Structures are given as C-alpha cells and as structure tokens.
Structure 1
Amino acid sequence: MRLSQQLPLVGLLLFLLFPAHLCEICAADSKQQAKISPLMTMMIQTKERSPALDPSILIALRLARQDYKAAEKTFLERVKQTITEQGETLSSGQLALNILALTAACETHFVTTQNLVTKLEVKFRKELNSIGVSGHPLTNYYQVGLDALTLCLLNGTLPNQTAEYLSVKQNKYYFAGQFFVDTGAVAVLALTCLNRKHPDQNISNTITQFVGMILKRKTKDGIIGNIYSTGKAMQALFVSSEHYDEGAWNCNETLQTVINQISEGTFRLPITAAQVLPALEGKTYLDITQISCLPSPSADLLHIWTPKPGEPTRQPTRNIFVTYRVVDLINDHINDSTSVSVPKGSVFLKVMEAAQAKNYTRFWFTTESSDWGPYVTSVRGIEANSNDRTYWQLLCNDQPLSQGAGSFVVSADDRLEVKLSKY
C-alpha cells in the first residue's frame, strides 16, 4: 500500500481500536450451527468457476466460525487466477469483491504487488464521472457502494464527494417502486466505514435515512425486502443500532426465520448461501480486515451434508394448472396468455418451456446461465437491452419475484408473467 494511502498513525490506531460492531450481534448458536451446515457444504462442493461466485464464497468461508483450509485454498487460487487472467476486464464491483476476498484470506501482499487498490480507484472514479455526466454509474449503485467500502477498508484514496454520491437522492435506490434493500445495505456498510474514520454529521444523517428505508421493508416474520436481501440487511443493521430505536428490529426473529428457510431449499444456489452465511455467523464485511492471519490447525468439513430423499426438491405427484402471459407494452404491444399444465413442484422456467412447446411462435424465449441460475434474455426475439435499460421481469400474481426463473416454485392457479420493463 502506498504511504500516501495510509491513515495518520493516531487515526489508524483509533480506527483499529473501534469495535467491528456498535451493537449486540445475534448469531447462530451451537444448535443452529448444525442447521446452517448445508450452506457450507453447498459452497464447498461447487465445481463451477466464476468471477462473481468465487470471492463471495471465499469471504463467507473466512468469516465462518470454523476453518476449512482445503476449500479456502481452492477458492483463493480461483480468485488469484481471475485477477491474473481477467483483472483488466472486471467491473469495478467485481474487482472490489475480489480484493475483499484476498484481504479476508490474508493475501495483502498479492493485493499490493498487483496494484489492485490503485486499479480500483481508477474504476471507481469512472463510476462517479458517469454519475456526474449521465445520472447513473457505468454499472449500478450496488457496485459503487462495494467500491467505496473496499477502498475505505483498505485505506484507498476516495474523492471528497464519495458520501454525497452514495446519499439517498432521486430514485437511484429504487426499482419498480421498491427500495433496493441489498444496495442500501452495502451503502450503509460503506458509509459506516467512512464515518468511523472521519465522523461527520451529514454521513450519520444519511445512514439514518438508509436504515429507516431498510426497516420499512421488514415483514412480520423478520424478512427484510426478500429472503435473499435479508443477509445484507442484517449486516447493515448490525453496525447501525444507534440509528434506529430499540425494538424496531428483532434480530433473533430474523435469524430464526432465515435458518428455517435453509431446510426448505431456499438457498439452493451457492451464491445465495454465500450471501447469507456471514450474517448467520454474526459477521459483516467490515470484519474482513479483522480476520486473524495467524496460523491455525488444519481443519475441514467433517460431516458432509446430503439432502434426505425428497429434500429440498420433492418428486411431483400430480400436475397443476397455471396461466402464463407475455407482455411487451414498450415495443410491440404484445399481451398473449395461455394455460399450461406442469408437474407439482415445477419452477417458473418449466412453465415457460411448457408454453413454448404449446405455441412456439407466441412463447419462444432464450436464457443465459448465471450464478443465480438461468436469466431470461429474450422472449419472442425481443432482447433485454442494457443501452435501453430494459429487462424481462418475472411476476407471479402481479408481484415481482425475488427468485429467478430456475428457482421460483409455482403453485396451482398462479398467474405468471414475463414483462419487458425498464430500470
């Protein structure tokens, strides 16, 4: 790290003496640890390499209570390979996540020799320049928040107006009228890091605004936004208890609700497991620089979890009927629907395939693979277009889905819809 990037000695010591959290943390107890072991097993056993998936898993493993040295070594090598082969082409957020993973794995020497902090500074400035010119970043505000968090934790150079760019303004944290919980949560983590280093009332006020918006998305069972954004929301609320009233959030209720979802197969993808595990361990991304780098006894997963017959996916016993509709009111004013029969337990994608088999001309579609499962790229030849900021939105009974086409399990009489929408 360049000397110019170091905090003044006194400030650095004060920052290191700050507790990683400013509130009481809820985390899985010894009994609950057994219930979260399937998440660990799922991450460790994944074979697919991915610039998005690998660093998230490595961070989750390093923040976990137990050491899994063999798995950590595997994912560390994958992260290093990604940096070596694809470093220049990674988006700012992807680079930031890889830097965090390397830091969590005590590979600060690799970060320094590869000059990764400086490279992230350059990418971050381009994001901010794009916001200034076009009103939106080159990527998205989740990545911008991740950039700021990483540069703050590693003492990189941040423009003076960083907090202003992260502030709650206009609709940059909203999508289809809904607040982006995970994006707001990452902003809280970044702003908390900035505020701990250089206390500022304006930053504190912004954190309070974000926390209020996050808590507004809390449901009666403790889920915040949706089940997949809850992990990041928990991290944000862990570090910001001074910004909300006592009793505004029951941490243990949220923790138990999330743990209960594990056995239901909700976190069946490795990326979803990696997103939620740190919070279940009572950790946040602010803890990454606090991980001990002292040698520890080699350990590995002793009991490999395997799903019992019928878990989490049960064999269908009968067929159900659902309606399926394709809507494009932006270009061709398409509004076609049909009724299809699929086996009970089918996911949204199976409904799309059934409709396509029934009438290819009206319902054909294409997908691409991603860490979050199949992503719908086109329907009836109409492609989602990042330049036009359009995408194919999935809905069930008029409600946008928080799961992908390959994950959301449909129910009898559901009204399913793919709709070309703008973001």
Structure 2
Amino acid sequence: MARAALQLLTLLWAVTRTSTQTQSSCSVPSAKQPWVNGIQVIMEDSVINSTFPNPSILIAMNLAGAYNLEAQKLLTFDLMASDTAGLTTGQLALTIMALISSCRDPGDKISTLQTQMEDWTPSSLDSYASTFYGPSLAILALCQNHPETALPIAARFAKVLLASSSPFDALSVTPERPNKEWDCQQTVDTILDEIKEGKFQNPMSIAQILPSLKGKTYLDVPQVSCSPDQEVKPTQSDFPSPVPTSASNITVVYTISNQLRGVELLFNVTISVSVKKGSVLLVVLEEAQRRNPKFKFETTMTSWGLQVSSINNIAGNVNDKTYWQFLSGKTPLIEGVADYIPFNREHITANFTQY
C-alpha cells in the first residue's frame, strides 16, 4: 500500500472517532489477529539493527503495546538523545509524540517546535496538500503537551486551511466530497488480506497502520500507560513464517531514463540482469551497477528505509519537484527498492520525474 494511503487511513480513522475513548466501529477478527502480531514483530525487530531512530515506530509500539522491551528502551533512549538540528517540522513533532507516549519529557524539543510553528507559513496558498502534513503533526504534538499555548498557533493554521485557495478544507482529505459513506470494516479487511499476502514488510509501513489495527490513533498518545510490564513476545507459532524462496535465478530488465528538459545528461539505457529469485529490487540495481558503470546510483536512509536519491549523479530536488520514480511496466511501484521483489522477465524503469 502506498505511503500516502497509509497516512490517509490514519487520518481518516482519527477524524471518524469523536473521542479517544470511543470504541471503534470495526476491528480485527480474533482469528486474524496473529497476522497483526506478525507484522508488529517484524517492525520491532527492525529497531535493533537500524541506525535510524524512527519515532513513528516507537509511537506504534507504545500504542499497540510493545512485545520487545529491549527494542522499546533502545529506541526511546536514542530519541531522547537525538539532535533536533536538521529535522523537519513533522519529524520533530513525531519525536515529541514518541517521547510523550513513552512518558518521557521532550524537554526543549517542545520550545523548538513551537518556534518553528510560530514562524511557519506555506510557500503558497495553492501548495500541495502534503505540504500541510508535517505542520498538522506539529499542531497535534503541541496540543497534546500544552493546549493553552498551542491554541493561537492552531487557530492560525486552521485559517490557512480554510482559505479559499487552500488545496482542501479543514475536515476534508479528498478534493471531492465522497458519494458514499466510508466502509471502515471493508478497509480493515482489505489491509488484512494484504498483510496475509506479505505486502507489509517495511517497518515504517507497519508503523503507519498498526495503531489503527489495534483500535488506536495518535489522539491516544497522552493516554498511554507506561507501567513496567514483562516482555510478552508472540511465539513463532502465533503467526505464519515466510515461505522459503527458491534458489533459482530470474532475469529482470532494468531501464534508467532521464528525459526532463533542462536537466543535463539525458539518457535512456536498458540492461538485463540475473539475480536470485526472491531478491529485492535493490539487488537488481547493485547487479546492474556492477556490470555497467552507466547504472551508478546512490541511496539515502529515510524513515521509510533506503531511498534512491541519485542515479548517474542526477539527484532529486525538492525545489525543482523532481525525484526518481520506479515503475513496473507503466505502473508506479508502491514499495521501496529494499522491499519490492521483482518477478521473472519484469521490466523495471527508474524514471527521473517531476511532480
């Protein structure tokens, strides 16, 4: 499932609840709960081997009830010691909520976020809706910590959202009013089917969806109980194990293409590479680079995992609204290069794109 869809579901779930104490109108059937337990274990196990302290994962652990207390403590301490310099407004807000959900004092991180939001203005009133996602997290974090001081900031933010040229009104997450009522249970069932198919392996994707599957939202962050509990990690029999992949090889056709005008070094080059069946796309890129220097690439670690930031020294740029988009045929991939598993004879294209 795409990242935007995960964020949308989280927001939808929060908006439809009138209170953090209200019982959700839909839930995970007990027979399918092991699938949810399984992805939670995948998410928590990623903490130990990760060099990227991800606040979204800690929030999800605390809201869902952590199984791995060692991972929970490690991530908490890492975020407490983290430097706020270089963090976006959204990243800082998530860090604060992660510490609040761990019953830890965010310290001067609150004042830093408050200053950022006091000075915040959108680049333009017709900015993309995604421009407002980070600041909306900031409003939520400030309101959870000091509602009184956050009120003027929240009011100013709401006025921007209500502006006639804003990309959406205050309680709308789609450009058009839906023509039918949202079916919560159908959404949950669809996500459970995708979990069963193994589509949720990325820790950040799991962190986005896990609280909702446990009947929680970010509105519940201040109500998290931090009483010391013993680690109760599900046994391997509680959830399915991945099926071992075959050792046979597959062939993947890989194309890199830069056709944007105004960008130097235009190219469109294709190579066929052979990798072990079950290999992720990153292995395909590495093999292409090993065989041909024209396929040089660089990655950046993000909260979503490795992201291809540059191919042949051409990097995406926020100001130019450019990025490297990966497609299977003509269909954009919804998983990252470290998660997506190509099939035999699949044609993968990395296209330098402007949004």
Q: CA deviation at 1:277?
A: 0.7
Q: CA deviation at 1:96?
A: 0.6
| TM-score w.r.t. length of structure 1 | 0.67
Structure 1 contact 28–255 (Cα < 8 Å) conserved? yes
Structure 1 residue ranges without an equivalent (≥5): 1-17, 174-204, 216-243
Q: Where does residue 84 of structure 2 map in the other structure?
A: 87
Q: Where does residue 31 of structure 2 map in the other structure?
A: 31
Of residues 321, 324, 328, the one that matches 1:396 is 328
Of residues 118, 124, 131, the one that matches 2:123 is 131
Q: CA deviation at 1:321?
A: 4.3
Describe the shift of the 1:338–1:398 C-alpha distance in structure 2 as closer, same or farther (beyond 3 A). Answer: same
Distance in 1 (CA, whole Å) between partners of 2:241 and 2:115 is 50
Spell out the pairing of 1:56-75 with structure 2 (5 A cutoff).
56-64=56-64, 69-75=69-75
Letter in 2 for 1:252: Q
Structure 2 contact 324–351 (Cα < 8 Å) conserved? yes
Distance in 2 (CA, whole Å) between partners of 1:100 and 1:66 is 16
* Number of matched pairs: 330
Distance in 1 (CA, whole Å) between partners of 2:237 and 2:48 is 16
Of residues 91, 94, 99, the one that matches 2:96 is 99
Q: Where does residue 249 of structure 1 map in the other structure?
A: 182
Distance in 1 (CA, whole Å) between partners of 2:299 and 2:66 is 38
| TM-score w.r.t. length of structure 2 | 0.78
Q: CA deviation at 1:66?
A: 6.5
Structure 1 contact 322–415 (Cα < 8 Å) conserved? yes
Letter in 2 for 1:408: Y
Q: CA deviation at 1:25?
A: 3.1
Q: Where does residue 313 of structure 2 map in the other structure?
A: 381
Q: Where does residue 182 of structure 1 map in the other structure?
A: none
Q: CA deviation at 1:142?
A: 2.3
Distance in 1 (CA, whole Å) between partners of 2:142 and 2:123 is 18
Letter in 1 for 2:170: T
Describe the shift of the 1:70–1:41 C-alpha distance in structure 2 as closer, same or farther (beyond 3 A). Answer: same
Residues 296-329 of structure 1: per-residue CA shift (max 9 Å, x gap): 6x22124344999982662343423435242332
Letter in 2 for 1:90: L
Q: CA deviation at 1:20?
A: 1.7
Residues 140-161 of structure 1: per-residue CA shift (max 9 Å, x gap): 4321221122223331424333
Of residues 230, 237, 249, the one that matches 1:299 is 230
Q: Where does residue 173 of structure 2 map in the other structure?
A: 210
CA RMSD of aligned residues (A): 3.4
Distance in 2 (CA, whole Å) between partners of 1:71 and 1:329 is 44
Letter in 2 for 1:206: A
Structure 2 contact 127–166 (Cα < 8 Å) conserved? no
Letter in 1 for 2:286: E
Distance in 2 (CA, whole Å) between partners of 1:171 and 1:151 is 23
Residues 346-403 of structure 1: per-residue CA shift (max 9 Å, x gap): 3322332333344323x22222333423211221222223343321111122122221
Residues 234-278 of structure 1: per-residue CA shift (max 9 Å, x gap): xxxxxxxxxx85xx3332232233223334432223222212110
Describe the shift of the 1:56–1:305 C-alpha distance in structure 2 as closer, same or farther (beyond 3 A). Answer: farther
Spell out the pairing of 1:23-422 with structure 2 (5 A cutoff).
24-45=24-45, 46-48=47-49, 53=54, 55-64=55-64, 69-82=69-82, 86-107=83-104, 110-111=105-106, 114-128=107-121, 131=123, 140-154=131-145, 155=147, 156-157=149-150, 158-159=152-153, 160-166=155-161, 206-207=170-171, 209-210=172-173, 245=180, 248-292=181-225, 295=227, 298-305=229-236, 311=242, 314-330=245-261, 331=263, 332-361=265-294, 363-422=295-354
Structure 1 contact 264–312 (Cα < 8 Å) conserved? no
Q: Where does residue 240 of structure 1 map in the other structure?
A: none
User: Matched residues, percent identical?
Assistant: 28
Distance in 2 (CA, whole Å) between partners of 1:317 and 1:92 is 46
Deviates more, 1:271-280 or 1:88-97: 88-97
Higher relative contact order (CA 8 A, sep 6+): 2
Structure 1 contact 51–94 (Cα < 8 Å) conserved? no
Distance in 2 (CA, whole Å) between partners of 1:80 and 1:145 is 22
Structure 1 contact 25–282 (Cα < 8 Å) conserved? no
Structure 2 contact 252–342 (Cα < 8 Å) conserved? no
Structure 1 contact 324–351 (Cα < 8 Å) conserved? no
Distance in 2 (CA, whole Å) between partners of 1:322 and 1:341 is 9
Q: CA deviation at 1:167?
A: 5.2
Q: Where does residue 241 of structure 1 map in the other structure?
A: none
Structure 1 contact 65–281 (Cα < 8 Å) conserved? no
Structure 1 contact 79–102 (Cα < 8 Å) conserved? yes
Describe the shift of the 1:36–1:22 C-alpha distance in structure 2 as closer, same or farther (beyond 3 A). Answer: closer
Describe the shift of the 1:42–1:167 C-alpha distance in structure 2 as closer, same or farther (beyond 3 A). Answer: farther
Residues 177-221 of structure 1: per-residue CA shift (max 9 Å, x gap): xxxxxxxxxxxxxxxxxxxxxxxxxxxx631x3257596xxxxxx
Describe the shift of the 1:258–1:399 C-alpha distance in structure 2 as closer, same or farther (beyond 3 A). Answer: same
Structure 1 contact 367–375 (Cα < 8 Å) conserved? yes
Distance in 2 (CA, whole Å) between partners of 1:341 and 1:168 is 53
Letter in 1 for 2:96: I
